[in-house]
A and B are shown apart, each in its own frame.
Chain A
Amino acid sequence: MALKAIKLKVGDIHTERIVEDLKRTQIVQYAGASGDYNPIHTDEVFAVKVAGYPSVFAHGMLTMGMTGKMLTNYVGDGRLTKYGVRFTNQVWPGDDLDAKATIEAIREENGKYFVDLKVETINQNGVVVLSGSASARIDP
């Protein structure tokens, strides 16, 4: 279901729990589907002994993908026109993530309506792991 401009206002918020207790297997699944086989994400021996991290950690793109699920659930399928993020902290196995979209603007361009959103995903400690923005085409 697409959003309707008439029913929205700046400051409206949509939030979703996008993952609970992130599993290493899901990270492996993402590596296989995306083609990013960097062992830092899937090979605990490499991540700890060679790269010097406490364990493997998720691809930033897995967090962006899971956050995208919150966005498409909110704005509707096939409606995103822009989506961009910065990865601000790493995501680890066992993390719980909550993603949030906040309406920053509702605008009309050549008879079409769009919404601009601020996007943020935080972990169970309240640390921001992803921060960015998105725009979507909405109904009048």
Chain B
Amino acid sequence: MAIEKFPIEAGHVMMFARAIGDANPIYYDENYAKTTESGNIIAPPTFIQANAQFDPDYFLRPKIGQPWFGSGKEPTGIKPGSGGDTRGGGRGLHAEQHYEYHRHLRPGDVLTATIKPGKKWEKEGRRSGKLIFSETIIEFRDQKGELVITARGVGVQTERAVEQE
């Protein structure tokens, strides 16, 4: 799996900063950014997660002409057990996320990424039954082929909804 082109765009960076409630002008104001150490707008540290927008295979984005598991007339567009993507049953959660920054992103960068599956393991959860963990490692490179960010994510499939205490 791979992402062939993830362009870092100023408007996207601004919208992302708004979404995380960060009013820091370094994420949208070019004139302010010129006065800072980096000298240009940079992206917030977790912006890289928005690579999902540019991953053609990302399964948590409705795709034109394909069934979507969110509600419409019915609570879900895909009946459980109908043979659809089992990850669409609301049982998938994000367990861990780790980033290593070789440098910070700026508008104008164009990234490519290779996505590698990592380890898989199982555990019995106290509040959600059997847990199946799976790791993904993504290496992001810039337009010069230099490594900019290494991301290691861990997803978990729970047997049932996590009980609330």
Contacts and interface: CB of A to CB of B under 8 A. Distances in A.
Q: Do A and B come from one complex?
A: yes
Interface of A: 2, 18-19, 26, 29-30, 32-40, 42-43, 45-47, 49-54, 59-62, 64-66, 68-69, 71-73, 76-78, 80-87, 90, 132
B19 A32 contact: yes
A19 to B, nearest CB: 6
Contacts of A53: 90, 161-162
Taking residues whose C-beta sits less than 8 angstroms from the other chain, chain B's interface range is 35 or more
Interface of B: 12, 15-16, 18-22, 24, 26, 36-38, 42, 44-46, 49-54, 58, 60-62, 69-71, 75-76, 80, 89-101, 104, 152, 160-162, 164
Given A35-B52, A52-B160, A78-B38, A87 B93 contact: yes
Contacts of B94: 59-61, 87
B138 to A, nearest CB: 14
Nearest to A71: B45
A60 B97 contact: yes
Given A43-B71, A60-B93, A78-B104, A34 B16 contact: yes
B159 to A, nearest CB: 11
A2 B101 CA distance: 17
B19 A83 contact: no
A134 to B, nearest CB: 9
B52 A2 contact: no
A19 B21 CA distance: 8
A77 B37 contact: yes
Contact of A39 (B16, B18, B44, B71): B71
